[in-house]
Structure 1
Amino acid sequence: MSLSTLKDRVRAATTEQPAADATVQDLAEDVKGPVPAQLHTSAQAEGDDVADQALAWLEQYGNDFTRALPSHIDVKVFLSAVRAALPGLVHCTPASLRQALLTCARFGLIPDGRHAVIKREGKTAVFVPMAQGYVELMYRSGRVGSVHVGMVHENDEWSFEPSAPAPLDFTHKPRVDLPKKERGAPILAYAFCWMASGARSQVIVLSREDAEEIRDEYSAAYRRAVESGKADSFWHTDFNAMWKKSALRRLHKVVPMSAELVALLKADEAGDAGEVQIIHAPAEETHLQDDADEAHERAEESQSPQETRNRPLPRKRSQPRRTTRKGRKGARR
């Protein structure tokens, strides 16, 4: 039976796990035959035997990665980034690593630490889109002209007045002339978009307290890291990156959304919760487009002129009071 969709291919691949406790390192040691030179050049140069063998094993599924990746991303570039991450992933199960990498490929993101990361949690590999990955998919929607994400430091010049018309409602002048230490600690993360139509989205502004509340309420990965005592979640290791990413994620309520971006949000949430991510891959689920359309309608409302949004609702005109026959007789009396 031919496997026509990415979901079918991944399910087939992930059912081939040789043993419950097997890892990529175990499977890599069994790789036989020559390694394709065109895909393995960077790995050979590195000289890490375990990672090299693991990459050789992954290259057996090169056709699956080629089909999953969009046409503008070369499989050699993708696998080169994978090779750099493999030393930290060789203790993952083969099924979870293939699943995480195929999901990453399907979204057209490179696991380079900027666009996406493949993270190990126990023996499970998890696909984690980073802030630049969200930005990349926003641009691909064709509705977003530019995306701005930043952090306000203590000694920067800035103002935030939500009731003022755009773009006067938010301004930020970073003190790049000062040494980093003199700029002070970050106090706000923000994100906004300029649309292809020329309109500007609402500005999302998050304080550190806001970010901590988001972390505590929504991040299962953070709670697991705290409970285990390992403190190895991204909220522990790179709080500022997660702070900015949280601002970007909140943009989905106020900017036009593509089905692919909706799917990325769902995959990100699934990975954080420890759930299977491939079921959220885009293109196979029609309800994602419905979610995207609803988000687009909300975005259009948020981008309408301020005076239109503040205009009171039209009031229904009162109709002349009709007098009954009995009323008219009573009146004559």
Structure 2
Amino acid sequence: MPSTLKDRIRAARQGGPAAADQAPDSPAELVDVKGDEKVEPAMNDTVMAWLRKYETEFDDALPAHIDRAAFFAAVRAILPKLARCTPASTLQALLTCARFGLVPDGKHAVIKREGTLAVFVPMAQGFIDLMYRSGGVGSVHVGEIRANDEWTYEPTAPAPQDFVHRPDLTKSKEERGDVVLCYAFAWLRNGARSQVIILSREDAEAIRDEYSSAYRDAETAGTADSFWHTHFLDMWRKSCVRRLAKVVPMSAELVALVKTDDAGETGQVQILHAPDPEDARLLAEADAASTAAEASQDAPTPTTARRLPVKRSQPRRKAPRRARRTGRKQAA
């Protein structure tokens, strides 16, 4: 019988014997995200009490640096928006969010409703947080260029002269004009700067049209309620950060977050892509050890530090060919 939540969810999706053995209110039964059970708007306290039945799973999922009370305070604030979602999808989305150590506060992550499903959406700041946790990234900068801003981009120039953005902050956003570009770059801990990721509105729309099934479904239904409809600039900025994640040192956790975000866009069960708590701890330790090892290799050793180039006043004379052969025979 499956022992972990992930195993139970996988068994439930496959419809195997293990799924039938679960209790009626177990996570495997609740993962039937196409069920008809709804959460009424006036039942926030009841829903919170129901979620606390799985406090062991949440305690295991939440990293040590995330305050449990703060996490559930954010959860309580978003429950009215999830009133029509199935309990199964709500539980799944919240546990996925917890496993990545992100708070669903609208800045780091969002739990959005798509029909009767709750979906976990990591935002730009959530990706940035995981970049910092990888240990190789010192700082991340994300911004947008408006039509009347002063900026230059010369890819062949050395960093940081290759990209300069000088917004006039004394002007209002209306005076600066519409957003024409979004960008993101990172400074690494070794002092290098990453590639500058720049996306135009056309680029963002192409990403939306190709990858977001939620956007396509909303277009077909005429509801215009996907995140690309309601938070276009946020998704534009997030697209920059996602591309940036591919050109900076990536931890296993960051790779998993990208896969989980993709699963949400295509309507798949996201928690299957989120790392198990124990796996996440081991992977974090491995990433930290790898980063420390790379840093030690970058630092010059005492022997290397003393090795200096020497200019010879006379070219080194080569020994006669016969002598070199004799020397090799003697060495053999």
* 1:125 equivalent in alignment to 2:118: yes
Looking at structure 2, the residues matched to 92 and 49 of structure 1 have their Cα atoms a distance apart, in angstroms, of 14
Looking at structure 1, the residues matched to 208 and 183 of structure 2 have their Cα atoms a distance apart, in angstroms, of 16
Q: Which runs of 5+ in 2 are unaligned?
A: 11-21, 292-332
Q: TM-score, normalised by structure 1?
A: 0.75
Partner of 2:164: 171
1:239-263 C-alpha deviation (Å, 9 max, x unpaired): 1111111111111331110000000
Cα deviation, residue 10, structure 1: 5.6
3-state secondary structure, aligned to 1:158: strand
* 1:182 equivalent in alignment to 2:197: no
* 1:99 equivalent in alignment to 2:98: no
3-state secondary structure, aligned to 1:191: strand
- Percent sequence identity over aligned pairs: 62
Matching residue's letter, 2:38: T
The root-mean-square deviation of aligned C-alpha atoms, in Å, is 2.2
Partner of 1:16: 29
Choose from 119, 133, 154 the match for 1:161: 154
3-state secondary structure, aligned to 2:236: helix
Matching residue's letter, 1:14: P
Partner of 2:251: 258
1:222-251 C-alpha deviation (Å, 9 max, x unpaired): 111101111011111011111111111111
Looking at structure 2, the residues matched to 10 and 54 of structure 1 have their Cα atoms a distance apart, in angstroms, of 20
Matching residue's letter, 1:7: K
Looking at structure 1, the residues matched to 211 and 57 of structure 2 have their Cα atoms a distance apart, in angstroms, of 33
Looking at structure 1, the residues matched to 188 and 5 of structure 2 have their Cα atoms a distance apart, in angstroms, of 32
Looking at structure 2, the residues matched to 16 and 244 of structure 1 have their Cα atoms a distance apart, in angstroms, of 37
Equivalent runs, 1:217-296 vs 2, <5 Å = 217-282=210-275, 284=279
Cα deviation, residue 121, structure 1: 1.1
1:127-149 C-alpha deviation (Å, 9 max, x unpaired): 01011101111111010000010
On the 8 A contact 2:2/2:8 being kept in 1, the answer is no
* 1:58 equivalent in alignment to 2:51: yes
1:152-183 C-alpha deviation (Å, 9 max, x unpaired): 11121110111111111101112111122111
Partner of 2:319: none
Equivalent runs, 1:27-176 vs 2, <5 Å = 49-176=42-169
Partner of 2:196: 203
Partner of 2:313: none
3-state secondary structure, aligned to 1:24: coil
Partner of 2:296: none
Partner of 2:303: none
Looking at structure 2, the residues matched to 202 and 116 of structure 1 have their Cα atoms a distance apart, in angstroms, of 25
Looking at structure 2, the residues matched to 106 and 6 of structure 1 have their Cα atoms a distance apart, in angstroms, of 12
On the 8 A contact 1:23/1:93 being kept in 2, the answer is yes
Looking at structure 2, the residues matched to 6 and 150 of structure 1 have their Cα atoms a distance apart, in angstroms, of 39
Partner of 1:324: none
3-state secondary structure, aligned to 2:206: helix
On the 8 A contact 1:22/1:93 being kept in 2, the answer is yes
3-state secondary structure, aligned to 2:169: coil
Looking at structure 2, the residues matched to 147 and 157 of structure 1 have their Cα atoms a distance apart, in angstroms, of 21
Partner of 1:7: 6
Matching residue's letter, 1:102: L
Q: TM-score, normalised by structure 2?
A: 0.75
Matching residue's letter, 1:16: E
3-state secondary structure, aligned to 2:159: coil
* 1:191 equivalent in alignment to 2:204: no
Count of aligned pairs = 266
On the 8 A contact 2:8/2:28 being kept in 1, the answer is no
Q: Which runs of 5+ in 1 are unaligned?
A: 26-47, 297-333
3-state secondary structure, aligned to 2:29: coil
Cα deviation, residue 200, structure 1: 0.5
Looking at structure 2, the residues matched to 218 and 87 of structure 1 have their Cα atoms a distance apart, in angstroms, of 28
Looking at structure 2, the residues matched to 210 and 2 of structure 1 have their Cα atoms a distance apart, in angstroms, of 44
On the 8 A contact 1:119/1:126 being kept in 2, the answer is yes
1:174-217 C-alpha deviation (Å, 9 max, x unpaired): 21111221111111000010001111000000111111111111
Matching residue's letter, 2:263: A
